[in-house]
Structures are given as C-alpha cells and as structure tokens.
Amino acid sequence: MSFSVAQAKANMHGMYGNYTGAMDNAKTTAYRAAVRAFRRRHGIAPSQYFTQECITASVSEVKELQSMLSRLGFSVGAAGIDGRFGLVDGGATGAAVEAYQRTRNLRADRIAGSMTLSALRAEYAAKTRPQSAGQTGRGIDFGKYPNFKASEFACRGGWCCDGSLHLLTEDIVAVAQRIRSHFGRPLIITKVGGVRCDALNRVTQGSIAGSQHTKGKAIDFYIPGVGVSAVLAYCRQLQSRGVIRYCYTNNTNMRGAVHVEVG
C-alpha cells in the first residue's frame, strides 16, 4: 500500500497539527521537523525519516479517530476507516473532525488535537460500554452451575469497564463448576482472574496481550484448604483429557493461584 510524503503530511496535519504547509511530496524543513515530532510522540527512535514504523503508527491513530467519529455518527466518507486524512483540507475525515468540533463547541480547525481527542474518547467509551454488570453474556444459564454467579467471572478492575460479561464463554464456567465439584469446596476466582477487558489486561502483572482472559476463556483461582499442587494435578488430568487447553501456576505473580484456560 503506497504511502506518499503528501499522505504523511496530511496525517501529521490532521493529528495534533504537527505539520502545517502544502500537502505535496516535497521533503521540506517543515516536513522533517514534523516527522521528528511525530516519532517523538510515538516513542520511535529519533530520525528525520517517515519509516514503515511511522506509517503503521500513523495509520493506526487515524483509524482510531475515524472509528470513533463514525461510531458517533460523523461520516468519514466513502473510503471508510482507512487510516488516511484526505490531501485537500483533510478530506472527509477532516470534515468529520470539523463537524464534531462544531457540535461540541471546540475550536473548529479540522485538527484532532488533545482536546478533541479526549472529548471523542470519553463519548466513545460511554457509548461502547457494556449495558450492566449483571448481564450474563452469551445467554449462559447459571442455573446449571449452582456454585457460581456471573459476577464471580466479571472483569473487576472497577475503573475499566462494567464487568465485560458479554465476553464470558460457557466452557470456562463449566470447567470451574467441574473443578469445584471435584474438590467439594468453594473455588475462588482472584480479583484479576476472571474476564479481563483489554484495559485491565494491559496493566495486569504477568499478562500477555490477547490473553485467554480477554476472551472470557480463562480463570485464575484457588481452593481454600486444598494445596496448589493438588489443584494443579487435577487440572493436568483435565488437560490430558482435552477438557481444558492449558493450566499453570508460578510463584512470581500468581501467588498460589492456578490459571486454567479453554481453547
């Protein structure tokens, strides 16, 4: 996918206004300065070149902007969410930014600066938040799992979301009930051991991006009165029978809990 100097200029103008000047392919002093500022803002090593890494970062930030605008009802044009500001006045994306700014009493300059972006992010988050913490995602009938309530599996970051129970899969609930029934004792899911929304997962110690927790397919738990090694031994049996995909524990960030995930 080609990405011209003019396109880099249009994107650097549209986001934070780092570049101002003609949207042509000339590598001017203003362009070089904007590239340096762009790289700094993205934590990319200093240089005057708009490298592939810059293209990727730029396209993704413009896509985020375009997604928020369209979700809030401001059309970004026929090309859709393509990660590009138009070369003439920002094109349809620039027009959408301006329309948004006018309706929110922000300075209508077609530039997505920090004030425009924080207003957009707040509205977007409010709009995309799950309905309520009590919802049992994917229609799971908790009547079948007598020892559990949906809320025990919810994302409990508190600050990050309303529980994200829409992500929860029934397979992991069934596994929790099976382990609980085997030991005949309460199974306690740790505070960050149920569903994790992406925001919570990012700040959870020892987590990996795209963890099964973010898909509602993993739990970290302990069973008071039963040693970790006994819990793990049973989970390994479940793994060898194909009931779960993987289980593990460690002493660095699990603190005696066992992680179990389904595929």
Select 35 or 200, whichever has its Cβ closest to Zn ion: 200
Select 94 or 157, whichever has its Cβ closest to Zn ion: 157
Residues 143-182 that bind Zn ion (CB under 5 A): 155, 157, 160-161
Report the nearest approach of Zn ion to the CB of residue 179 (Å). 14
What is the side-by-side strand order in the sheet with 258-261?
A: 188-189, 218-222, 258-261, 246-248
Report the nearest approach of Zn ion to the CB of residue 49 (Å). 38
- Of 26-34, 40-48, 68-76, 254-262, which segment contacts Zn ion by CB under 5 A? 254-262
Select 112 or 161, whichever has its Cβ closest to Zn ion: 161
Q: Which amino acid is at 244?
A: I
Among 222, 247, 259, 262, binds Zn ion (CB under 5 A): 259
Q: Are 5 and 31 in contact (CB under 8 A)?
A: yes
Give the CB-side neighbour count of residue 200, counting CA atoms within 13 A.
Answer: 21
The answer to whether residue 194 forms part of the interface with Zn ion (CB under 5 A) is: no
Among 200, 223, 235, 247, binds Zn ion (CB under 5 A): 200
The answer to whether residue 197 forms part of the interface with Zn ion (CB under 5 A) is: yes
Site string for Zn ion, 201-230 (x = CB under 5 A): -----------------x-x----------
- Residue indicated by tokens 């389904």: 262
- Of 1-9, 45-53, 66-74, 189-197, which segment contacts Zn ion by CB under 5 A? 189-197
Select 112 or 192, whichever has its Cβ closest to Zn ion: 192
Q: Are strands 258-261 and 218-222 parallel, antiparallel or unpaired?
A: antiparallel
Which DSSP string corresponds to 130-166? -S-TT--GGG--GGG-TT--GGGGS---SSS-S--GG
Select 98 or 152, whichever has its Cβ closest to Zn ion: 152
Q: Are 136 and 38 in contact (CB under 8 A)?
A: no
CA distance 263 to 248: 15
Report the nearest approach of Zn ion to the CB of residue 186 (Å). 19
Helix (H) or strand (E) holding 218: strand 218-222
Select 68 or 165, whichever has its Cβ closest to Zn ion: 165
Structure tokens that stand for 99 in this block: 């329309």
Q: How big is the site for Zn ion, counted in residues (CB under 5 A)?
A: 9
Structure tokens that stand for 106 in this block: 């922000």
Q: How many residues does the chain have?
A: 263
Q: What does each C-alpha distance from 86 to 78, 81, 89, 96 come to in angstroms?
A: 12, 12, 7, 11
Select 160 or 244, whichever has its Cβ closest to Zn ion: 160
- Residues at the interface with Zn ion (CB under 5 A): 155, 157, 160-161, 197, 200, 218, 220, 259
